[in-house]
Amino acid sequence: MSAVPTPAGTGAVVELDNVTKTYPGGVTAVHGVSLTIGYGELVAIVGPSGSGKSTMLHLIGSLDRPSSGAVRIGGYDVAKLPDRQVSALRARTIGFVFQQFHLAPGRSALDNVADGLLYSGRGLADRRRRARTALTRVGLEDRMDHQPHQLSGGQRQRVAIARAVVGEPPLLLADEPTGNLDSASGAGVMTLLRELHQAGTTVLVITHDRDIAATLPRQLVMRDGEVAA
């Protein structure tokens, strides 16, 4: 994994300084956003479709770079790093949970989670040992050998969360984590995210659901590409 130079940030896990993202064709999805998320926070970014929250996810997750302004993750200015170093920063700093789970069919829960460490340089035995720990942490110690089609929606999302945290990243980005779940399973996933936060992980939930956002201690409301509240 490529080395990343020493950061010069302020200690926040996420800093956006007057960030704008404009796509080809002149569509500005995020305009002039500045915000800071400290280590150990539990935050919702909430807004309807088209509000800019998905673009915010891509910028904070270092999956995209701003057109102007600065995005700093763990003190590193993403725009000043070459692609290889951005990938290294992302791998060690950020875990992703998506609405669609993105689990590999035909592979056990254990191996789906272990695959989250494929580029860590760890051997298979160590990856599986860490995967067992992560699956136990999310309450699936009795489902490790099950394949995705043998799991409920809530269990598949828990596998996805275990894969996201198996490398113990300080920041977890959850994009509509309850969007494909019934209300009971969704509530269970939100409880799990709160437990991960209480254990020290910074958790950022991107959602259109204002009821979910209202249960979190901090809400950033997106409207027309700007943080409205």
Of the candidates 183, 181, 190, 6, the residue with the CA atom closest to the CA atom of residue 81: 6
- Total number of domains constituting the chain: 1
In-domain check, residue 17: no
pLDDT, position 120 = 78
Per-residue pLDDT, 89: 92
Q: Which of the pair, 137 or 8, is modelled with greater confidence?
A: 137
Residue 98 pairs with which residues in a beta bridge? none
> pTM to 2 decimals?
0.90
Is residue 50 in some structural domain? yes
Model confidence at 198, in pLDDT bands (50, 70, 90)?
very high
Q: Is residue 14 part of a domain?
A: no
pLDDT digits (tens, 9 = 90+) for 99-108: 889 999 999 9
CATH number, position 188 = 3.40.50.300
Q: What share of the chain is helix, strand, coil (3-state, %, to 5)?
A: 35, 25, 40
pLDDT surpassing 90 at residue 37: yes
Nearest of 76, 69, 95 to residue 11 by alpha carbon:
76
Query: How large is the average pLDDT for residues 195-203?
Result: 95
pLDDT recorded at residue 170: 95
Q: Is 114 helix (H, G, I), strand (E, B) or coil?
A: helix
Per-residue H/E/C for 118-177:
HHHCCCHHHHHHHHHHHHHHCCCCCCCCCCHHHCCHHHHHHHHHHHHHCCCCCEEEEECC
pLDDT digits (tens, 9 = 90+) for 56-99: 999 999 999 999 999 999 999 999 999 999 999 998 899 999 88
d(CA 159, CA 163): 6
The pLDDT score that the predictor gives to residue 204 is 97
The answer to whether residue 6 scores a pLDDT higher than 70 is no
Domain of 217 in residue numbering reads as: 40-59+91-227
Residue 150 covered by a domain? yes
Q: Is residue 128 part of a domain?
A: yes
Q: What is the mean pLDDT of the chain?
A: 91
pLDDT tens string 104-121 = 999 999 999 999 998 777
Beta partners for residue 207, in sequence order: 46
- Give a yes or no: residue 161 inside a domain: yes
Decide if 67 is inside a domain: no
CA separation for the pair 221, 18 (Å, rounded)? 16
Percentage of the chain lying above the pLDDT 70 cut: 95
Residue 75 lies in a domain: no
